[in-house]
Amino acid sequence: MVNFRYISLFSGAGGLSEGFIKAGFKPVCHVETDRGACFTLKTRIAYHYLKETNQFDKYIEYLKGSLSRPELYNLVPAELLETVINLPIGSKFNRQIHKQIHQKLNNRAVDLIIGGPPCQAYSLVGRARSSDGMESDSRNYLYVHYAKYLERYQPKFFVFENVIGLKSAKGGRYLSNMKNLFKKKGYNTELFILEANNFGVLQKRKRIIIIGKKEGLKIEIPDFELVKSPQKFEVDNIFSDLPELKAGEGINKFLTYKKNTNDYLENASIRNGIDVLTQHIARPHTLQDKKIYKIAVKKWNKNKTRLNYKDLPNELKTHNNENSFLDRFKVVASNEPYSHTVVAHIAKDGHYYIHPDIKQNRSITVREAARLQSFPDDYYFEGVRECANRTAAFTQIGNAVPPLMAYEIATLIKKKICQKN
């Protein structure tokens, strides 16, 4: 069996990489600047290694809290954990990153580079909140370094993911310059606008995927926009087997499920055989927030209408701005085929992600957000410290590529490469 090799840049929590691993690709290195996300990547490396070496019971022990993180990592060869490179991509550290990648390559070729730079500089919301429209943000130009990695490692393909705002950022000039630079480095590109719900993800998440192909390579780029997964499930499938929690309740490790799995969770490999539920802890909320949440849920459940901030009773309003962000309180629609987009702002508060069950009266948990992104339940999100870090986990989940979507992309690319070979 051929294991095509890839380098993951701007890896985050590894959602894109997880899809490629599941499709049979082999990571050479993951490069990520966030330390908490690097621990998440290492824990996932431990998961795959222990599963492949018939030691999966050790990983289960970790999920139950019987093993510490250092004890888990001690079970994994150091050279595997060292494939996670915790450095920022850029002029200051590129030489050091290349040195570490070179040590892992052993003079073997790279088939793909995957990953996309942080999206805040291109996002519509990010530009709206910035005093200069993100013009001075250095992240606007990380694609230049991405191109340097293409030039150095000469992969057959690259997969570059980003937000829709990339098309309009600076009047489209960033995107145009990006494509021209990739062309200069020897890559023809095709841009696709993809909806995650077309790939079996129960979430409305529209993203740009740029596929680059090395010039002269006689392999056809698949048309990913033709993928239309028939959606026969509703978002309630995400919540139905999970224990009911009120605000502030839950357990970080080893919480049992409320009931058996369902067809969606099985088809999406979210419930994949383990009976250990982690990171299902509800945020605490103020009494005022819980009153607002109940109003929002009632409006949605009765008429499928969203709460407008202007319509709240005056005693529940905390500020006078009634001209923007009027939908800041939003219910995750359990009776629809997909939820609204999960973004990193969920780390700051849960107002935009209210649980649809009025009896629970809370925002969604880390595990519920991870499921909306199609992460399997055995995926554990780490922080810098070994104890649970809800903020770090939510940020990683909100910034991630849904693994289910990544798997379909990887499968189609692999099929084209194998046809050629």
Of 29, 38, 119, 387, which residue is the catalytic one?
Answer: 119
Give yes or no: 29 in active site: no
Looking at the chain, the number of H-run helices and the number of E-run strands are 15, 9
Please enumerate in sequence order all residues whose Cβ is within 8 A of that of 408, keeping only pairs 6 or more positions apart, or say none.
19, 199, 200, 224, 227, 229
Tokens of 225: 């926009």
Q: List 212's β-bridge partners, or say none.
A: 158, 189
DSSP assignment of 262-323 equals -HHHHHTTSS-S---B--EEPPP--HHHHHHHHHHHHHHHHHS-PPPGGGS-GGG---S--S
Q: Which two tokens stand for residue 418?
A: 């194998």
Say if strands 187-195 and 280-281 run parallel, antiparallel, or are unpaired. Answer: unpaired
Tokens, residue 208? 């740009």
Cα–Cα distance, 219 to 199 (Å, whole number) = 23
Query: What is the rounded CA–CA span in Å between residue 16 and residue 375?
Result: 11
Neighbours of 397 (CB within 10 A): 30
Distance, CA of 292 to CA of 294 (rounded, Å): 5
Residue 187 near residue 215, CB atoms below 8 Å:
yes
The secondary structure element, H or E, covering residue 175 is helix 173-184
Name the phi and psi angles at 159, rounded to 5: -125, 115
| Euclidean distance between CA atoms 389 and 366, whole angstroms | 10
Yes or no: say if 296 and 285 are a contact pair by the CB < 8 Å rule.
no
Query: Catalytic residues, which ones?
Result: 119
